[in-house]
Amino acid sequence: MLTVGVVGGTGYTGAELLRLLVMHPQVELKYVTSRSESGIKVADLFPNLRGFTDICFSEPAVESLAECDLVFFATPNGTAMKMVPELIENNVRVIDLAADFRLQDAAVWRQWYGMDHACVDVLADAVYGLPEINRAKIKSAQVVANPGCYPTATILGFLPLIENALVDDQHLIADGKSGVSGAGRGASVATLQAESAENFKAYAVDGHRHLPEIKQTLSQVASHEVGLTFVPHLVPMIRGIEASLYAVLQSDSAVDLHKLYVDRYASEPFVDVLPEGVMPETRSVKGANTCRISIFRPQQGNTVVVSSVIDNLMKGAAGQAIQNMNIMFEFDERLGLNQVALLP
């Protein structure tokens, strides 16, 4: 059995991670940490876990976490990087669900997150945990940077076009919409029901923290810097992301775009390319570790439109983290992730 610790188990991402871990047949949940809830039973805070675990929250201590084979960090940005070096010294492998190891350039990290990186040497060796492009590296990684939710939907949507150099990659547009759980569990006026219900708005138009992550990954795929306009929106639902992606073909190409996507993702267990003309819906992936994609070429013009949907707490966070764990420890990649989406 794989012994696992979770640092920061009180947020939405942490709660989703715990829900998946207690059902995983190869996992023994050893520690769940929270400074504010230390000593309280996890199932008292999250009653959906009642009957599945008797573990109590504990203080985060490297000495205890070093007993684990793997530690997940579901913590605010800037937390994991302070503890990870000691865990590595103890041969513990790490999956960070925050952004501490996603950006390879420490100066870019400082620009977007407002703090110096605490372990630049570890940052250099961390693997970006998007299995559809980095599966082999994830398998042997000591530290995996679990991708953000918007980046997962956006990168998977654009990937076949960028890999095949089919579009003008200097003027990509990503129009993302997310449910309010993406903002986290902390109290905030913007996510009060009276503020978010019956409302729809864009935010962070001048620059969202996921922008450099998306650009970094797509630029690596393209082998040169790409240009991207990314505008996120808050929609009045709890879970789900829809990314409407726009790009212009390099020429009047006769390529079969649907076949291109079907072939690219044919062996990917958690990417579903829908039949031509079918629109993906966020409710079709709620509670599932699936990205559903459709691709269109309106009026057979040169503009390509891709619609990509995920559950931001699953393929956009905890589900993808379990997928990465399965790869790292050579389990079946689908293990513990066979949930059918919740409907309605």
- Reduced 3-state DSSP string for 94-148: EEECCCCCCCCCHHHHHHHHCCCCCCHHHHHHCEECCHHHHHHHHHHCCEEECCC
Residue ranges per domain, the chain? 2-146+317-328, 150-310
Q: How high is the pLDDT of residue 244?
A: 98
> What pLDDT, in 10s, does the model give residues 35-72?
989 999 999 999 999 999 999 999 999 999 999 999 99
Average pLDDT over residues 166-173: 98
Write the Ramachandran bin of 114: left for phi over 0, alpha for psi from -120 to 50, otherwise beta: left
> H helices of the chain, where?
12-21, 42-45, 62-65, 80-89, 106-113, 120-125, 131-140, 149-163, 193-196, 210-222, 257-264, 318-328
User: Does residue 196 have a pLDDT over 90?
Assistant: no
> What pLDDT, in 10s, does the model give residues 83-114?
999 999 999 999 999 999 999 999 999 999 99
Diameter over CA atoms, the chain: 64
Q: How high is the pLDDT of residue 154?
A: 98
Does domain 2-146+317-328 correspond to CATH entry 3.40.50.720?
yes
Average pLDDT over residues 20-26: 98
**Catalytic residue flag (residue 56):** no
Average pLDDT over residues 14-24: 97
Mean pLDDT over each residue of the chain, to the nearest integer: 96
Average pLDDT over residues 134-139: 98
Q: Could you give the angle at the alpha carbon of 234 between the alpha carbons of 220 and 201, nearest 5°?
A: 110
Instruction: Please report which confidence band the pLDDT of residue 29 belongs to, taking 50, 70 and 90 as the band edges.
Output: very high
Mention the CATH class of domain 150-310. Answer: alpha beta
82, 56 in Cβ contact below 8 A?
Answer: no
User: Does residue 186 have a pLDDT over 80?
Assistant: no
Average pLDDT over residues 281-294: 98
150 vs 275: CA distance, rounded Å: 23
Catalytic-labelled residue, pool 56, 68, 119, 149: 149
Q: How high is the pLDDT of residue 42?
A: 97
CA nearest to 234, candidates 178, 285, 195:
178
CA nearest to 203, candidates 219, 226, 185, 182:
182
Q: How high is the pLDDT of residue 184?
A: 80
Q: How high is the pLDDT of residue 252?
A: 67
